[in-house]
Chain A
Amino acid sequence: MDAAIRVEALSKRFGRLEVLRDVSCAVADGEVVCVIGPSGSGKSTLLRCMNGLEEATSGRVLVHGVAVSDHGTNLDTVRREVGMVFQRFNLFPHKTVLQNLALAPRLLRGLTAAETRDRADALLDKVGVLDKRDAYPNQLSGGQQQRVAIARALAMQPKLMLFDEPTSSLDPEMVGEVLAVMQRLAEEGMTMVIVTHEMGFARRVAHRVLFLDEGRLVEEGPPAALFESPREERTRRFLGKVL
């Protein structure tokens, strides 16, 4: 069976800046993978290549066997199955919470208004913001907005979820509520790739951790091994600074 995500010799350049250099990795169905590394190491770019928000300079990215990196591929159909959560939430400010959740399923899944509403309500309840369903995003706290953003992605019933530093722009007291939602999602068996600086969370929830530095995949392994006894000097130095 195809892996949920397979990255083959991926390189990405922005002009002369080499952001990713020959990165290869794979994510299995049901696996939770955390990507860690210093800022500017290419973590977010790697994640954004996985749903085609960034285009690979060379190499391939396959999502359930479909080459996202090919120009001929219809990205829209791939992205329906790949949820994404952003650092800065990116909720639609002119739509209510409910409308944020309903938009894509109504347009793309052919559901009735009632079906999308029921599904949205269930998801909002799950992430604990059901009472805000008729509010506008700017009336919510950062933590609430990010939980709505997760629910919005889940409303498409994706096969896997990408998280791009989901707690990095949150006030410290709101980080926990978002991580709790993500942990529950992981426990339910969702395939997840999470770019994060939350080492405690990575250690607790991830099945596997990738360490990126200067655009290279330096080391990967189960969190216990990678955090307790990193093989690479660079990993050790990074962990020494953040732990």
Chain B
Amino acid sequence: MDEPQILWFGWFRADIIKEYEPLFWEGLRMTVGVTVVCILLGTLLGLLLGLARLADARSPVARVLTRVLLRWPATVYVSFFRGTPLFVQILLMHFAVVPLFMNPADGWLISGDTARDLRQNYGAVITGIVSLSLNAGAYISEIFRAGIQSIDRGQTEAARSLGLSYGQAMYHVVLPQAFRRMLPPLGNNAIALLKDSSLVSAVGLGELAYAARTVAGAYSRYWEPYLTISVMYWLLTLLLAWGVRHLEVRYGRGDSR
């Protein structure tokens, strides 16, 4: 280490951050990328789970079927993913579930050298995206369910009495209104997801927390790397919150409540 030390405020070793700058940028890219992908996948999953939990049918037979095939599985799913620690879910996913689907010998989905390569090069990314999306989907389904249920029943009745199908009524009438009310909790969820992505560093995903850990390990200095990523996370959450507020203003018109 023959580079000159750069001290900020007499104690902050800025040169360490400078030396590892590419690692932090790489980590930032990974954190943002994983978060964005998981928000999209989680929202889609949340919508499907939310609809499954509200599913109903007219005839008695179909009603039983929707209960058994849609409502109950969705309820159990949501209960499990909300009732266990995300950290444990990540470990379970990485060391137990992913190997089951993907291993060189007898993977259910992929086996052979492809499986080995995939897990070596992208194992942590796969774990991160799958486990964060599955977890976010459970929370977001509750947001969808509450949002849909908060819309007056008269809206669905009016749409259906015009002849719109269930799907059309949902898509054109209920969801656009529910979405407005869901924006604040969805925003909170996105912020939580951004922060929770740091947990995936435990299985070696090269995101911000991983970058900080690497730097801390190399120098046995902790203030510099962790303070740096703290500021980066903070800026990211501020940016996200600002974006959500922007959307709320934009889509706020026409809501009577």
With most chain A CB atoms within 10 A of its CB, the pick from B58, B158, B162, B165 is B162
Chain A residues lying within 8 Å of B253, measured Cβ to Cβ, are 136
Take A86-B154, A86-B157, A88-B154 as given contacts and tell me if A94 and B177 are in contact as well, using a CB distance cutoff of 8 Å. yes
Q: Which of A48-107 contact B (CB under 8 A)?
A: 51, 53, 55, 71, 75-77, 79-80, 82-84, 86, 88, 90-96, 103-104, 107
Q: Contact: A95 with B254, CB < 8 Å?
A: yes
- Closest chain A residue to B158 by CB distance? A90
Chain A residues lying within 8 Å of B177, measured Cβ to Cβ, are 92-94
Q: Contact: B162 with A152, CB < 8 Å?
A: yes
Query: B188 near A: Cβ within 8 Å?
Result: no
Size of B's binding interface in residues, CB under 8 A: 26
Chain A residues lying within 8 Å of B59, measured Cβ to Cβ, are 71
Chain A residues lying within 8 Å of B257, measured Cβ to Cβ, are 93
Query: A108 near B: Cβ within 8 Å?
Result: yes
Q: Contact: A107 with B164, CB < 8 Å?
A: yes
Query: B3 near A: Cβ within 8 Å?
Result: no
Least Cβ distance of B234 to chain A in Å?
A: 34
Chain B residues lying within 8 Å of A79, measured Cβ to Cβ, are 160-163
With most chain B CB atoms within 10 A of its CB, the pick from A84, A86, A93, A138 is A93
Q: How far is the CA of A162 from the CA of B58 in the complex (A)?
A: 22
Take A94-B176, A152-B162, A156-B163 as given contacts and tell me if A53 and B157 are in contact as well, using a CB distance cutoff of 8 Å. yes
Q: Contact: A76 with B163, CB < 8 Å?
A: yes
Q: Which of B159-185 contact A (CB under 8 A)?
A: 159-165, 168, 172-173, 176-177, 180
Query: B152 near A: Cβ within 8 Å?
Result: yes
Least Cβ distance of A28 to chain B in Å?
A: 22
Q: Contact: B165 with A92, CB < 8 Å?
A: no
Q: How far is the CA of A84 from the CA of B161 in the complex (A)?
A: 6
Chain B residues lying within 8 Å of A107, measured Cβ to Cβ, are 164, 168, 172
Least Cβ distance of B253 to chain A in Å?
A: 7
Least Cβ distance of A185 to chain B in Å?
A: 17
Least Cβ distance of B160 to chain A in Å?
A: 7
Q: Contact: B163 with A93, CB < 8 Å?
A: no
